[in-house]
Amino acid sequence: MIVILDFGSQYTQVIARRVRECQVYSEILPHTTKAAEIRRLGARGIILSGGPASVYAKGAPKVDKAIFNLGLPVLGICYGMQLIAHNLGGKVERSTHREYGAGTLKVDRACPLFTKLPSKLEVWNSHGDRITALPAGFTPMGTTENSPHAVIGDAARRIYGLQFHPEVVHTPRGREILANFVHRICGCRRDWTMGSFIDRACEQIRAQVGADRVILGLSGGVDSSVAAALIHRAIGDQLTCIFVDNGLIRKGEREAVEKLFAGNFHIKLQVVDASARFLAKLRGVTDPERKRKIIGAEFIKAFDQAARDLKASVKGAHGYKFLAQGTLYPDVIESVAIGGNPAALIKSHHNVGGLPERMKFQLVEPLRQLFKDEVREVGAELGLPREVIGRQPFPGPGLAVRVLGDITPEKLRIVRDADAIVIDEMKAADWYYKVWQSFAVLLPCRSVGVMGDERTYDYTIALRVVESQDGMTANWVRVPYDLLARLSSRIINEVKGVNRVVYDISSKPPATIEWE
């Protein structure tokens, strides 16, 4: 295990993922974590992340200096490296030549961080400070154009620092540098695999649940689908999934969920058809935020009632005492300010509207250690098809936020049929799994068209295709013209009520991915 202490870098999660790609488990902790806690966790090494502050500034994040006396290897990245120098007797000052972007690193080949790497490397810099005096015991092991101390190290104490960011893709050999740290310097084994994770997770689920039963809200998305398959492998028929059809789902979604989970995996599945009540509540509502609140409140009611019915259906000691959720590791840590407690927080939208408190469920969260790419790997190991584990993100409010303005059954039919064509054509052209999202939006306006010899006055569909790493930022995709032509032709010809298709070429920011 490698502990990563977070000093507020936008790349901290990337560091954790890169370490896991070395098949070594990593965990992000606040920079305030005490050395005694790191020892208790059994860590084999420590990475100090970057951060936006200057180590000499008032109120700059600090670290428990006792970590340097644990006898564990330490790697500081950018701010983390400067913090090492600052704490151990060196000097850090503002640089007269800041380094942002690509640079060339010349390295000391004797440094174990660069074993089997060339003497010159392309690296990515992002700093305005630099070390001007090294602590006792440290030597320079790498230089860049404006930094004589781009790499520093105390080989005897196994403490190293990198002024650049090895975790980002702009440092092409950065993954090998991190691999040298975790394997050669820390001595970590390659035992973090998704196969071993499944075995451990099943043991933990069985130990937690015992002979009791578990309810899981199944949406058909990646996270809940993988959680369902994993829990079912662990406890079989003790799991029951609830699928709420709110009338805002994709074409064929309900049937696909029933076929895969009830038919193929033989998982107990209860389908709640609540579409009429959702559409009744949404009638005449045009404000996007009101839509979301109505849908959230109605989902709680529908799920709440289904869960209560399940609980009431089982008499005796081993009833439904657990609620399973597809909480992921980024959900646990991403909304935590530096200095907080990542392990104690869960993003509210994953917490099914507060149901655990109301219904006295205990939570089962088997995926809370995993990043999204790891969840997909677990899904593949469990036998879930590519259509599930490779599925694009779908908004919680469903098609309600892809029908601009008021929602009617007719408008939902139009956007649902158009969306199905988008998925079909993107997959046929081998583009679906290459992009982050691709979907159709129904605009609240009509325009004049001509079909045959008749004048039409119908709706417009906007197509949205974006690429992204995490949904925080996104760029519109330069989809081939022939694919756009097929999408437009099929939608206009096959979806009654549409006579015009447009393509959204806005990136995020300033636009959002979804239109509402």
Catalytic residues: 78, 165, 167
CA dihedral sign, ordered 340, 1, 16, 234: negative
CA dihedral sign, ordered 437, 440, 445, 450: positive
- In whole angstroms, give the CA distance from residue 389 to residue 230: 13
* Structure tokens that stand for 155 in this block: 């080989």
Query: What H or E segment, with its residue span, contains residue 466?
Result: strand 454-467
- In whole angstroms, give the CA distance from residue 329 to residue 370: 5
- In whole angstroms, give the CA distance from residue 498 to residue 510: 28
- In whole angstroms, give the CA distance from residue 327 to residue 346: 8
* Structure tokens that stand for 167 in this block: 């975790």
Match 């992921």 to its residue by tokens: 328
Burial of 207 (0-12, 13-18, 19+ CB in 10 A): exposed
Beta strands in 304-402 (DSSP E): 320-324, 362-364
- In whole angstroms, give the CA distance from residue 142 to residue 288: 53
Query: How far is the first Cα of the chain from the last one, in angstroms, to the nearest whole number?
Result: 42
Strands 498-503 and 454-467: parallel
Cβ atoms of 218 and 225 within 8 Å: the answer is yes
What residues are paired with 110 via a beta bridge?
none
C-alpha closest to that of 147 among 97, 92, 79: 97
What residues are paired with 160 via a beta bridge?
75, 153
Strands 2-6 and 120-133: unpaired
Annotate 235-286 with DSSP letters as a single string: HGGGEEEEEEE-S-SPTTHHHHHIIIIIIIS--EEEEEE-HHHHHHHHTT--
Cβ atoms of 52 and 28 within 8 Å: the answer is no
Rg (alpha carbons) of the chain, rounded to whole number:
26
Query: What H or E segment, with its residue span, contains residue 200?
Result: helix 194-209
Annotate 105-158 with DSSP letters as a single string: EEE-TTSGGGTTS-SEEEEEEEEEEEEEEPPTT-EEEEEETTEEEEEEEETTTT
411 secondary structure, DSSP code: H
* Structure tokens that stand for 469 in this block: 């790493």
Cβ atoms of 368 and 27 within 8 Å: the answer is no
